[in-house]
Amino acid sequence: MNILLALIPLTMLGVLVAVAMFFWAVNHQQFDDLDNPGIMPLLEDSAYGEPAAEVARSNDPTGRDPG
Amino acid sequence: MNTYAVWAHPQLAAQVLHIRRDGRSEIAVRVAGLHSAQQVFRLEQIIRGLPGVQRVAIDAPAKRVRVVWDRQHTSLPGLLDAFANTGCAAQPLRRGSIDDVRSRESHDALKRLLVAGMFAMQVMTYAFVIYIGAVDFVDFTTRGLFRWLSLLSSLPVVLYSATTFYTGALGELRRHQLGINLSVSLAVLSVFVASTVNTLRGSGEIYFDSVSMFVFLLLAARYVEQRARHRSGALGDAVIDAAPLLAERRHADGSLETVAAIELVAGDRVHIAEGSTVPADGVLENAMAEVDEALLSGESRPVQRYRGERLIAGSLLLTGPAELRVEHSGVVTVSARLNALSTRTRHARVASTPASEREIGRFVGRVLLLTTLTALGWLLVDPSRAFEAAVAVLVVACPCSFALTRPATLTRALGILAERGVLVTDSSALTTLGRVDYALFDKTGTLSVPQLGGAAIEPLCGNDRNVVLQLAAALAHESSHPLARALASAARQYGLPRRAQAVQVNTGAGISGAIDGRLLWLGHADFALAPSGHVISPDLSSALLLADQHGPIAAFHLDEQPRNDAQSTLDGLRDDGIALVIASGDSKSRVAAFAARLGVDDAHGRQSPADKLQRLRAARQRGLVTLAVGDGSNDAPILAGADVSAALGSGTELAQAHADLLLLDGRLDGLVQARSIARQVTQVVAQSRRWSLIYNLCAVPFAAFGLVPPWLAAIGMSLSSLLVVLNALRVGRVGPAASPVLRA
């Protein structure tokens, strides 16, 4: 049972490290937007290179902006 | 892009910039056209790439972007230009809009939740060892060690995660209320203290596992509720930001330009039409104006202000028009007040009413009584089990789900409605709307949009067509009535209107004023011809007349088209069993024709605001629940007098100030949506309440007789809260209105 004396402080340490890491992540806005970053890898690279085309699309009157 | 150059003005910049302690500037802007994740990313990358930018935070549902940057590298107009170049035009928001509350709240809740979760798991492993130890191979000292470890591990849960309940309970006590935070705090602290005492003594039961799990599950339910609330809040913000307070600035040549009120600077001259909000502090430059300063003093009564006196930003102009010379801009108090005005609707988001708080207070009182009775009962029978049974009752019967039902459901409903173009300024109105069976509509501006066709101008007595239009437009320009607006906008293409002096607007009748010394009247035939005593042929009696002291000058035949969705809205409401009435100040024949076109039988013309109110009162006396829909300042009395009222977002601010619902983008069908959502809210609230009552009634007897261990009570109670929150999310998911959400 003496192994407990080593393992218990170790698990405690593990929990504390996990909590510290999580606090860091929360403070750095890692949990603020959970929807959009997931789509990032799916975007085509060209979207970043051609602002003009993108501007034209955002001005598209068929967008869902009401009246 | 010189539109943004004005923001180089230091007074304007001061209104929107927050200077941080590190010397950097922070700004919140509303951006248009953030439709896809792709655009969000592109915008973020481009703004981040600007020199001096330190942080960019995009809140896509709220359409808000916050930027922290160094102004030495990029100027404010430069930053706004950069936004515009990406296709996402940015409108700076007042400094007060930079609020961290939402993200601070959710960060805080997330941390508490995780700490509770991590340590609750630790405590649970130790508890498991103790349970096994009671049976078998763990010796007595090891068991003691694990009890101490449990105590140690539950400390962060009780002393950090659960503090949100303690502060809530203290707040409730300070307000002399019994709330759910109190009963949760009592349960957590009493169980924790008792278990600590038992650990110190080295004998007796400990419940560290139950208490940690209780806190964790409860925080989880609250976190779900908070996320939903923040999302609705963000949607509401987006709608509010979309309609900034506007002002009409007068140029040196007398022409008017519409600008955002935030862009006014000292010395500007502003024209205010009746029923509009005073956009900035300033000095009155015309003879007299009557204002309602309810927003500032809390008391709604007309106050008369004379030339040279000050008008205060945020008050409503009752009789107008008024000319104002702006004195201040960028003053903190003024912007705070205007912020309060535009966030009027935000009060409703708290979504709790005194009535429901009293109800919860009674509920908690009964639970505490029941807990005491259980403890006393067991003390007589078997004192060793008294504590456990009492705690189980306290936890099991905690009315968390009961208390969450209404706020969670209403919050969800308000968010859904904001998304569909209906702003609810009073959440209790939503409940009433579900019971409405009588609806009174204003006609002009509400059901119809008046337009002036070219052929509809009829000069009389040989006057020139363009001249009469100019004269009429000069008067019409001063009023906010929809007919006047239609006239003024029709005249715009014929050049600048002339400037009218000594203008007076008589609500429900017309406008009078002097142009180049000539006294003129514009309005209903009765009003316009009163000074000259002329009588006019009946076929002109329904037209808008322009006249001077000698007689009529011109007649304007305004064409009224029903709004696109007027027919479908009225049909929808009628199918829902609501009696429809149209009451208008217009002539009887025109009202009757218009009503027939929309299939409404009950229509009344020549109604003054007092007549309309009388009609509404009569309906209320018959026991009907009434809805009033209007848009103009003359509708304010009926909007205030009805059980529920709706105003069009395009209407005057005076009307909006009295309305419970605001229909944005001129969409009447928001009423049908609001009605169906209101019905759903009533259903879901009733269902959730039934559920939580049944659960409590079933669980309490078992707990009182000592058959429910505290850990099971904790799970049961938390799950029932979670169930209620998830049930609330059903609002707006079902029914025919679901399609716009799917598209979004």
Mean local confidence (pLDDT), B95-108: 73
Residue A44 distance to chain B (closest CA, Å): 9
Query: What integer pLDDT is reported at residue A43 of this predicted model?
Result: 65
Mean local confidence (pLDDT), B151-160: 93
Query: What integer pLDDT is reported at residue B343 of this predicted model?
Result: 47
Query: What integer pLDDT is reported at residue B616 of this predicted model?
Result: 87
Mutate to test the interface with A, among B30, B34, B38, B216 (most CBs of A within 10 A): B38
Contact B41 A66 (CB under 8 A): no
Residue B350, pLDDT above cutoff 50: no
Domain count along chain A: 1
Q: Answer yes or no: is A5 within a domain.
A: yes
Q: Answer yes or no: is A56 within a domain.
A: no
Q: Answer yes or no: is A44 within a domain.
A: no
Which tens digits make up the pLDDT trace of B102-133?
Answer: 778 888 999 999 999 999 999 988 887 777 65
Label the pairing between strands B438-441 and B626-630: parallel
Question: Measured between alpha carbons, how far is B292 from B301 in angstroms, rounded to an integer?
Answer: 6
Please give the angle made by the CA atoms of B486, B491 and B496, to the nearest 5 degrees: 130
Residue B345, pLDDT above cutoff 70: no
Higher pLDDT among residues B561 and B568, named by residue:
B568
Contact B45 A63 (CB under 8 A): no
Which tens digits make up the pLDDT trace of B158-192?
Answer: 999 999 999 988 988 888 877 778 888 888 898 89
**Measured between beta carbons, which residues in chain A are less than 8 angstroms from residue B665?**
66-67
Burial of B726 (0-12, 13-18, 19+ CB in 10 A): middle
- Chain B 98-127, CB below 8 Å of chain A: which residues? 103, 106-107, 110-111, 114-115, 118-119, 122
Residue B527 distance to chain A (closest CA, Å): 36
Residue B220, pLDDT above cutoff 60: yes
Mutate to test the interface with A, among B1, B41, B65 (most CBs of A within 10 A): B41
Query: What integer pLDDT is reported at residue B294 of this predicted model?
Result: 61
Mean local confidence (pLDDT), B239-261: 72
Assess whether the previous peptide bond of B321 is cis (omega < 30° from 0): yes
**Measured between beta carbons, which residues in chain B are less than 8 angstroms from residue A13?**
none
Contact A36 B40 (CB under 8 A): yes
The whole-model pTM stands at: 0.66
Query: What integer pLDDT is reported at residue B313 of this predicted model?
Result: 73
Report the complex ipTM. 0.70
Burial of B573 (0-12, 13-18, 19+ CB in 10 A): buried
**Measured between beta carbons, which residues in chain A are less than 8 angstroms from residue B39?**
54, 58
Mean pLDDT of the residues in chain B: 78
For residues B447 and B562, is the Cβ–Cβ distance under 8 A?
yes
Tokens standing for residue B214: 């209780």
Q: Answer yes or no: is A34 within a domain.
A: no
Percent of chain B with pLDDT over 70: 85
Question: Measured between alpha carbons, how far is B198 from B173 in angstroms, rounded to an integer?
Answer: 29
Residue B1, pLDDT above cutoff 90: no
Residue B35, pLDDT above cutoff 50: yes
- Structural domain including A16 reads 1-27
Q: Answer yes or no: is A64 within a domain.
A: no
Residue A55 distance to chain B (closest CA, Å): 5
* CA closest to B45 among chain A residues: A48
Which tens digits make up the pLDDT trace of B294-303?
Answer: 655 555 567 7
**Measured between beta carbons, which residues in chain B are less than 8 angstroms from residue A19?**
114-115, 118
Q: Answer yes or no: is A18 within a domain.
A: yes
Mean local confidence (pLDDT), B553-565: 80
Mutate to test the interface with B, among A11, A31, A36 (most CBs of B within 10 A): A36
Q: Answer yes or no: is A8 within a domain.
A: yes
Residue B46 distance to chain A (closest CA, Å): 9
Q: Which residues pair with residue B561 across a beta bridge?
A: B449
Question: Measured between alpha carbons, how far is B569 from B637 in angstroms, rounded to an integer?
Answer: 23
Q: Answer yes or no: is A50 within a domain.
A: no
Structural domains of chain B sorted by starting position, each given as residue range(s) with its CATH number in brackets: 2-98 (3.30.70.100), 103-236+350-410+683-735 (no CATH), 246-335 (2.70.150.10), 422-447+563-666 (3.40.50.1000), 450-561 (3.40.1110.10)
Q: Name the residue facing A43 among B38, B110, B743 (closest C-beta).
A: B38
Which tens digits make up the pLDDT trace of B271-283?
Answer: 887 777 777 778 8
Question: Measured between alpha carbons, how far is B203 from A32 in angstroms, rounded to an integer?
Answer: 46
Could you identify the residue written with the tokens 């009033």? B628
CB-based contacts of B424, cutoff 8 Å, min separation 6: B345, B348, B413, B414, B417, B418, B430, B660, B661, B674
Distances (CA, A) of B479 to B250, B557, B700, B704: 15, 18, 64, 69
Label the pairing between strands B544-548 and B518-523: antiparallel
